[in-house]
């Protein structure tokens, strides 16, 4: 179990992580979701003993990140956003190197990395620097797993990776989880939130909400409308400046809109848009997703 108690971390004036409390259960696949600068990386670096907090404490499976940092490093796998691979070593050499750092060999824990590593094994002699983004992520995951960690911490593993590789990567994570490993993964992609057991929505160093993806979606408190017209950008600006709108943001080819007044109906919104002079209007009620909850919480915080 990971227990985070009142943890804060500053960089000069910037409060990167502000008084966060959080518990992550054994064998859980836990997501930290939030935009750039929300504090996800900083919180993860605190967990893996790379930063010392201003205040508060973190216990990783009963070990304190300050007093027992050496022990934690033996039992935690960490995949940073960038630079975890040696670009001028081959695929095989990278994996062997990471195993040797922990006094282990590729053979010793091969069963754990097998599913992931087999996908890149045909390229075992290729330099890591010459792999595609998706293959680099697979190699980095293999390297983070090769010492059989109890806890795996992955910082934005799918950022900049193509959609197919992203899907494959999450399937691999599910398999890793089945080995009893606790996984903490950060992502700026809201669609990946639904693949986690629970997620924390983070913004400006704080956690706005922690729950299962379905509970987070169920907590959305407003009627949500999807709206479009021929002038997308103009419609966005008009709605933003309208006094009746609580929130509006682009969502694919639509705008997602909530109203200040909960009694506001579809027809009311339609006539409001008509009065603004828009053409080819389409308005319908729609179901909220995690992104809608996030936007709502950001608006109200
Ligand atoms: N080493 C550092 N020195 C100074 N400021 C930092 C440092 N690391 C992070 N910050 C600042 O702390 C805040 C939180 O950054 P952090 O990297 O934790 O966010 P994030 O959610 O992981 O986003 P990103 O995807 O951009 O890394 C940001 O304002 C960032 O500029």
pLDDT per residue as tens digits for the range 61-91: 999 999 999 999 999 999 998 768 999 999 9
Atom of ligand 1 nearest to the CA of 35: 21
Please choose, from the candidates 87, 98, 189, 179, the residue with its C-alpha nearest in 3D space to the C-alpha of residue 141.
Answer: 98
Residue finishing a domain among 159, 183, 216: 216
Contacts of 89 (CB under 8 A, 6+ apart): 97, 127, 128
Contacts of 117 (CB under 8 A, 6+ apart): 95, 110, 138, 142
Residue nearest to atom 29 of ligand 1 (CA): 37
Atom of ligand 1 nearest to the CA of 17: 14
**DSSP letter at 129?**
G
122 in helix, strand or coil?
A: helix
pLDDT at 83: 67
Q: Are 170 and 192 in contact (CB under 8 A)?
A: yes
pLDDT at 164: 86
Q: Whole-angstrom Cα distance, residue 187 to residue 195? A: 11
Residue 296 in tokens: 């709502």
Pocket of ligand 1 (CB under 6 A): 11, 14, 16, 34, 36-42
* Domains held by the chain: number: 2
Q: Are residues 192 and 235 in the same domain?
A: no
Q: Are residues 188 and 47 in the same domain?
A: yes
Q: Are residues 232 and 135 in the same domain?
A: no
pLDDT at 73: 93
Helix axes 133-145, 110-117, angle to 10 degrees: 170
Atom of ligand 1 nearest to the CA of 32: 21
Residue 259 domain flag: yes
Spans of the chain, pLDDT less than 70: 83
Q: Are residues 48 and 115 in the same domain?
A: yes
Residue 301 domain flag: no
Atom of ligand 1 nearest to the CA of 43: 18
Residue 62 in tokens: 């009963």
Residue 279 in tokens: 């053409």
Residue 295 domain flag: no
Residue 296 domain flag: no
> Domain containing 133: what range?
2-216
Adjacent-strand bridge partners of 247: 258
Residue 286 in tokens: 């729609």
Round the CA-based radius of gyration of the chain to a whole number and report it: 22
Helix axes 163-177, 133-145, angle to 10 degrees: 10
Residue nearest to atom 16 of ligand 1 (CA): 39
Mutate to test the pocket of ligand 1, among 41, 80, 83, 208 (most ligand atoms within 8 A of CB): 41
Please choose, from the candidates 15, 296, 32, 69, the residue with its C-alpha nearest in 3D space to the C-alpha of residue 185.
Answer: 32
pLDDT at 21: 98
Q: Are residues 174 and 253 in the same domain?
A: no
The dihedrals phi and psi of 124, each to the nearest 5 degrees, come to -60, -25
pLDDT at 165: 86
């Amino acid at each position: 179990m990971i227990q985070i108690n009142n943890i804060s971390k500053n960089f000069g004036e910037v409060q990167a992580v502000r008084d966060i409390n959080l518990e992550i259960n054994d064998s859980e696949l836990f997501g930290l979701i939030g935009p750039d600068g929300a504090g996800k990386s900083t919180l993860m670096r605190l967990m893996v003993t790379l930063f010392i907090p201003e205040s508060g404490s973190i216990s990783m499976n009963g070990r304190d990140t300050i007093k027992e940092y050496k022990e934690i490093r033996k039992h935690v796998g960490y995949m940073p956003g960038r630079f975890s691979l040696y670009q001028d070593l081959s695929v095989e050499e990278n994996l062997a190197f990471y195993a040797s750092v922990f006094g282990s060999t590729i053979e010793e824990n091969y069963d754990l990395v097998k599913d992931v590593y087999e996908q890149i094994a045909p390229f075992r002699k290729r330099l890591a620097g010459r792999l595609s983004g998706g293959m680099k992520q697979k190699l980095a995951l293999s390297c983070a797993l090769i010492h059989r960690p109890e806890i795996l911490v992955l910082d934005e593993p799918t950022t900049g990776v193509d959609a197919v590789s992203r899907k494959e990567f999450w399937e691999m994570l599910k398999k890793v989880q089945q080995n009893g490993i606790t996984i903490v993964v950060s992502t700026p992609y809201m669609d990946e939130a639904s693949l986690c057991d629970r997620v924390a929505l983070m913004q400006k160093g704080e956690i706005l909400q922690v729950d299962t993806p379905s509970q987070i979606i169920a907590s959305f408190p407003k009627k949500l409308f999807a709206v479009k017209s021929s002038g997308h950008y103009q419609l966005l600006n008009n709605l933003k400046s309208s006094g009746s709108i609580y929130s509006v943001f682009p969502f694919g080819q639509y705008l997602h809109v909530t109203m200040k007044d909960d009694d506001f109906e579809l027809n009311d919104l339609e006539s409001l848009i008509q009065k603004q002079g828009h053409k080819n209007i389409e308005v319908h009620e729609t179901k909220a997703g995690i992104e809608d909850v996030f936007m709502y919480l950001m608006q109200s915080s």
